[in-house]
Structure 1
């Protein structure tokens, strides 16, 4: 009789990140808020006014996206003609995001989209996004391959290792081919 660590039929699942846990709840709350605001405005100003606001947001958002996309393409084309690497965003990405938010039906998304069209807001949001991306890239680059394997082992507390050999389809049926060893027959049950 051997004694060892108890094995569980189902290994423990890794914990969900905060974003994956709260994003669906936040989207549902945002949707409820948008619908409630549309009904409040429709009650105060009429349904036709709400319809005109939604159509105006759709048209303005499509114009903004088209203009920002055209400007981004012109900047890329000029950079390629000069032979220089393309410059960083220049606010075109935030302009496109603002246009997309304008196109989404709702008043809160329209206000956020209009805010993203303002240059001071673009500068603040763009600087924050750039710092966040740089910090995440530095954190990802600081780890090594050994750290990744150690992280993978943490999720399997029993530490079981299965020895095996990779056999590719192009290796004349089985074996490793160029290592000088004799070919092995395929594994069967």
Structure 2
């Protein structure tokens, strides 16, 4: 899939340019040429200012996580989404500016951060993802199947068993290892 998306890139960039031009013309007709240009310049300057701020804030969060001994993945993913939103806002064009604003506002930022973390988990695996993002908290409710796999030598296969600690109404929190 990765190669397909890279193969489509030469087609998507000119299409994005055509869409940006069409939207710019529509905005010019709606609010006037001078206002459209001023709005585009203001969005780009705001994006450049935010790009610097998001970069510095992300670097400080990364350093604080490293000093405290916490996994830095959440800070890094939060900063990458902010940097991406700022970069899209800095690029001239109304479509890219709207996409950048969506990434900078809290609901869009959280959604993009969660998607980025899921993507990283799929790419690097559960154990490495827990090193990056910290332990995953899992809530097990009564009636949910609980499987504990004992680690045994490679000659025998792991056997699932139900733990005795799963009592009606109790919530068990733990780390998910894949």
Q: 1:85 to 1:126 in 2, by over 3 A?
A: closer
Aligned mates of 1:135, 1:78 — CA distance in 2: 26
Whether 2:100 is the aligned partner of 1:123: answer no
> Is the 2:55–2:79 Cα contact (8 Å) retained in structure 1?
yes
Whether 2:24 is the aligned partner of 1:38: answer yes
Tell me the residue number matched to 2:4: 18
TM-score (normalised: structure 1): 0.59
Aligned mates of 2:109, 2:119 — CA distance in 1: 15
Gaps of 5+ in 1: 1-15, 142-189
Tell me the residue number matched to 1:78: 64
Whether 2:40 is the aligned partner of 1:54: answer yes
Aligned mates of 1:61, 1:28 — CA distance in 2: 22
Q: 1:128 to 1:78 in 2, by over 3 A?
A: closer
Deviation at 1:33, TM superposition (A): 0.4
Q: 1:74 to 1:32 in 2, by over 3 A?
A: same
Aligned mates of 1:20, 1:36 — CA distance in 2: 25
1:159-174 superposed matches below 5 A = none
Deviation at 1:86, TM superposition (A): 3.3
Aligned mates of 1:25, 1:133 — CA distance in 2: 27
After superposition, the CA RMSD in angstroms is 2.6
Q: 1:23 to 1:124 in 2, by over 3 A?
A: same
**What is the DSSP-based 3-state SS (H/G/I as helix, E as strand, rest coil) of the residue aligned with 1:91?**
helix
Aligned mates of 1:57, 1:93 — CA distance in 2: 19
Aligned mates of 1:137, 1:87 — CA distance in 2: 13
Structure with higher Rg: it is 1
TM-score (normalised: structure 2): 0.62
User: C-alpha offsets along residues 91-118 of structure 1, whole Å, 9 cap, x if unaligned?
Assistant: 2111111110011111100110110011
Whether 2:81 is the aligned partner of 1:94: answer yes
Deviation at 1:81, TM superposition (A): 3.8
Deviation at 1:85, TM superposition (A): 4.9
